[in-house]
Amino acid sequence: MLIILLGKKATSKTSLTISKTSYHKVFMAKKKIASKKATPKKKSPARKKINKRKAKQHVYFFGGNKADGDGSQKALLGGKGANLSEMSRIGLPVPAGMAITTEVCTYYYANKKTYPKTLDNEIKTNIAKIEKVMGKKFGDLKNPLLLSVRSGARESMPGMMDTILNLGINDEIVESLSAKTGNSKFAWDSYRRFLQMYGSVVMGVDAHEGEHHDPYEVILDKAKAKAKVTDDSGLEESDLRWVVAEFKKLIKKRSGEAFPEDPMAQLYGSINAVFNSWNNDRAKVYRAKYGIPAEWGTAVNVQAMVFGNTGKTSGTGVAFTRDPATGENVFYGEYLIDAQGEDVVAGVRTPKPIAKMVKDLPKSHRELLKVRKILEKHFRDVQDVEFTIEEGKLWMLQTRNGKRTGFAAVNIALDMVKERLITRNEAILRIPAEDLSHLLAPIFDLATERKATKIGSGLPAGPGAASGKIYFSAEDSVKAASKGESVILVRQATSPEDLRGMIAADGILTTEGGASSHAALVARQMGKVCVCGAHGMTIDYGKKTLSGNGETLKEGDALSLNGFVGNVYKGTIKSSPSQVIQGLIENKAAGKRSDTYKKFMELMSWTDKLRKLGVRTNSDTPEQVEQAIKFGAEGIGLTRAEHMFFEGNRIDSVREMILADDDAGRAKALTKIKKFMKKDFIGIFKSLAGRPATIRLLDPPLHEFIGTMDAVQKKDLSKKIGMSASAITKRVHALHEENPMLGHRGCRLGISYPAVTATQVEAILEAAAVVQAKGTKVLPEIMVPLVAYARELELQKQVIDETAASVRKKLGLKKSQLKYTVGTMIEIPRAAITADKVAEHAEFFSFGTNDLTQTGLGLSRDDSSSFLPTYQDAEVLSNNPFAGLDQEGVGQLVEMGVRGGRSTKPNLKIGICGEHGGDSDSVKFFHRTGLNYVSCSPFRIPVARLAAAQAVLEERGQSRSEIS
């Protein structure tokens, strides 16, 4: 019946025992469909021949130092299959096998879970090849070949899909295996392992819902009790015979079907199961998380089994060709004697470090070191390998590029350049740009961290390590920090009012909100350690306590945050700034001497030679600007007028301005505001030392500055500005908006109150004049936010130009002596769509991709965290659109904006200053779109520089390596 499905007549051999098992239903369906089909049109013999010759190859053999495929065919053969083929090609000892291609997987899902007609034949042919190379026969009673069936997608998805080992045993074969190996315990143990895997994975016999114990383990426990042993390995042949019989009964009873004795049926059942596991829930969630498209599919690898569990001269292990945590050039791994692969992973026995093999298995160790060299030389990258030693013979079961930390990525790439294994450009492409931020963050001592008490976890929103005393308000945090305490600010969620507290704190913990919450965004910009949305933890603001995992901490108690992974620990763990920060920002000799610092600096110098995109910074203070410049910022891409408003008592003047109900009252308050704005701009311009600065005029809804006042604050303000508390309340109420993000903000404020714009421009230009007078060049680029209509920009430009004229007049300066440009944020779809018209009034554009994402997707950044996880699970989104640009949708608006703007002004300078300016994939998109620069928070600048360089190489068609 199986064979009918696969397009051939049934033979007695394969149709014997397979009849009612559920996994064959699809075959029945296929048969029906096939029988319904009309006779195909006759083709001329010549044509037929060509078709036959060109018939697609679905199965690729490897083994015996040969292979149909090679390492470059990851898309077709999966990562595992391609690398097994490559290893076989270059003469490494690989158990023979075959890769069934990912195209078969795609076909399977596109055709109601059926297979191409020719597949069956190809599988049979390749089994014959495997048999020949391994000198054993599948299903043979004398010298039986056992097989493994494993998944293998283009990108590794560890543990997500199914695996079946020891396939090809039945009641007869187990006896011959026993006889042949002279190891009946091994034979029966292999059989029970196979039954356990096949029963659960292929036949779906698992713990029932509500059943607390795995039914196979229950049987094993019974056997052990009967045999009076505590360990599985204590079971002897007779015990295992009983276990096998019980397993078979269990499977029959629960599935209603007998375990298939026929090896070919076992094989097809297993292949089905692996293809099906491509779409199990685990795999889907993983794909959504890592942005792996469902249409890639998985390959299936069918490979001869080799056994590390046949005695003291056998064993199994995993290794990295270099240390994946540090990048150090040492062989790194572990092994177990007399064990199968899963024993290493399962953690029942403690594996030994690989160096100890010198004693246990000296010959194999020597071989392994040789293999290590060959692999690195051939794949020109760190390899993550699995191996088995069967009675002294080394077999390589897998190799793949090793995952590594950001530290290791930099170290390895730059070492390999020195070793002449790879080129500089390859090194640039090898380092995931995002991981570069790991080099900037403070780090815990690993050993100490492992001993600490974990009391919660959340999203890793700001990489790094921080310990300090907890405080529950910005005020308390500031107070404690001023006493020299290290502070962890703990809030349910943060708001702009918490800014001073966040600045004072070493780390920030929130129990609500996601990766795009205020806390996450600000922490990212400030380079603060941050764990956000630690949902299992609770805060009692009244009692000033934080609880989690049964522990309750009071104000002032010590807490530690690991912002790399999102862990929250009770107590203090010692941390220190990374060597890069020590050298680059703190200017410490120790940091500068470090290897990581030197490599980081060298890498950055390479990227700067390559990249075409400029990199600027989003910074609001002179300190941030100075830091950003050290990170490589070439200017400011975004400095926010309103971020100056929260410092000290400034907010009072801002509130006075907002609450004023006439122009005179507003003018009075504006005078105060101008004074501190001017002071800040002087600081910023000085820090920039001649670099350009894009300054965005007041953007947020007014309510944001006044909506958060409580009764006490209102009373206090009432005294300060001489307005009754009830009048304040009334005005606050009047300014309340249903959807403030779409409300009276940005240039809309400037058009309603031109004096607000004029004041800011005065502050900017007067500050520019002060700094210029001291010999420092100043290039203010005044940016009008939230423009939807060209006319809005035209009107605001009039105000700016008129104000500039009056400032110049007042200061006695000529036009050439006080220069500035006027441009706009493109952050509303209408502005992008009508960019040709907007450009008539603009000297530059800067895409505000945060707002453009909000409006383009109709999605509030603040509110979407409640359903974005559902969206990722449902594969609507593969990432958070506020972190990585939605290139397909919002990206088109960016392209329209660039096209429109440059159609009016071919040389229009265009940048981007949304959060996406520091996201590596987005940076590459902006490069392709032809932007002039990206702007991001200081700590993201190295990421942007590297991504910008990678974009150039990718545009040239270069990949991270020619082979792997």
Is 281 exposed, middle or buried, given 0-12, 13-18 or 19+ CB atoms closer than 10 A?
A: exposed
Instruction: Tell me the residue type at 783.
Output: M
Beta strands 352-353; 332-337: pairing state: antiparallel
Nearer to a copy of itself, 490 or 826 (CB): 826
- Following CA atoms 799, 800, 802, 803 in sequence, which dihedral angle do they give, to the nearest 10 degrees? 110
Nearer to a copy of itself, 230 or 739 (CB): 739
Say what angle helices 184-197 and 171-181 make with each other, to 10 degrees: 150
Instruction: Tell me the residue type at 946.
Output: L
Beta strands 163-167; 393-401: pairing state: unpaired
The minimum distance between CB 469 and a copy of itself, in angstroms, equals: 30
Query: Is 518 a residue of the active site?
Result: yes
3-class SS letters over 211-229: CCCCHHHHHHHHHHHHHCC
Nearer to a copy of itself, 77 or 706 (CB): 706
Nearer to a copy of itself, 469 or 745 (CB): 745
Nearer to a copy of itself, 163 or 796 (CB): 796
Contact 24, 18 (CB under 8 A): yes
Nearer to a copy of itself, 215 or 785 (CB): 785
The minimum distance between CB 718 and a copy of itself, in angstroms, equals: 24
Distance, CA of 211 to CA of 229 (rounded, Å): 25
Distance, CA of 756 to CA of 705 (rounded, Å): 15
Token pair belonging to 733: 């109420």
Nearer to a copy of itself, 189 or 827 (CB): 827
The minimum distance between CB 947 and a copy of itself, in angstroms, equals: 24
The minimum distance between CB 876 and a copy of itself, in angstroms, equals: 5
The minimum distance between CB 746 and a copy of itself, in angstroms, equals: 8
Burial letters for 597-625: b for 16+ Cβ neighbours within 10 Å, e otherwise? bebbeebbebbeebbebbbbbbbbbbebb
Nearer to a copy of itself, 711 or 734 (CB): 734
- Residue 439 phi/psi, 5° resolution? -75, -10
- Name beta bridge partners: 844: 909
Nearer to a copy of itself, 181 or 492 (CB): 492
Among 895, 817, 884, CA closest to 853: 884
- In 3-state terms, what secondary structure has residue 950? helix
- Residue 253 phi/psi, 5° resolution? -65, -45
Distance, CA of 390 to CA of 411 (rounded, Å): 35
Token pair belonging to 425: 């450009």
Nearer to a copy of itself, 730 or 791 (CB): 791
Distance, CA of 933 to CA of 632 (rounded, Å): 13
Instruction: Tell me the residue type at 509.
Output: L
Nearer to a copy of itself, 12 or 739 (CB): 739
Number of C-beta neighbours around residue 331 at 10 A: 18
Distance, CA of 317 to CA of 361 (rounded, Å): 12
The minimum distance between CB 484 and a copy of itself, in angstroms, equals: 37
For residue 57, the 8-state DSSP code is P
- In 3-state terms, what secondary structure has residue 508? strand
Query: Is 213 a residue of the active site?
Result: no
Contact 582, 598 (CB under 8 A): no
For residue 423, the 8-state DSSP code is -
Distance, CA of 531 to CA of 522 (rounded, Å): 12
Q: List residues binding a copy of itself (CB under 8 A).
A: 737-744, 748, 751-752, 786, 788-789, 791-792, 795, 827-830, 833-834, 851, 854-860, 862-864, 866-867, 870-871, 874-877, 886, 888-890, 892-893
Instruction: Tell me the residue type at 538.
Output: T
User: In angstroms, what is the C-alpha Rg of the chain?
Assistant: 33
For residue 741, the 8-state DSSP code is G
| Measured CA distances, 726 to 245, 520, 649, 717, 734 (Å) | 84, 36, 22, 12, 12
Token pair belonging to 859: 């999605």
The minimum distance between CB 812 and a copy of itself, in angstroms, equals: 25
- In 3-state terms, what secondary structure has residue 369? helix
Nearer to a copy of itself, 635 or 856 (CB): 856
Residue 102's contacts (CB-CB under 8 Å, 6 or more residues apart) are 75, 76, 77, 78, 153, 154, 296, 297, 298, 299
- In 3-state terms, what secondary structure has residue 587? coil
For tokens 């500005």, name the residue.
721
- Residue 777 phi/psi, 5° resolution? -65, 140
The minimum distance between CB 546 and a copy of itself, in angstroms, equals: 20
The minimum distance between CB 708 and a copy of itself, in angstroms, equals: 12
Number of C-beta neighbours around residue 582 at 10 A: 21
**Catalytic residue (one of 530, 532, 913, 936):** 913
**Catalytic residue (one of 58, 518, 841, 927):** 518
The minimum distance between CB 499 and a copy of itself, in angstroms, equals: 18
The minimum distance between CB 767 and a copy of itself, in angstroms, equals: 29
Token pair belonging to 765: 């230009």
The minimum distance between CB 171 and a copy of itself, in angstroms, equals: 44
Nearer to a copy of itself, 507 or 881 (CB): 881
- In 3-state terms, what secondary structure has residue 291? coil
Give me the active site residues, please: 518, 913
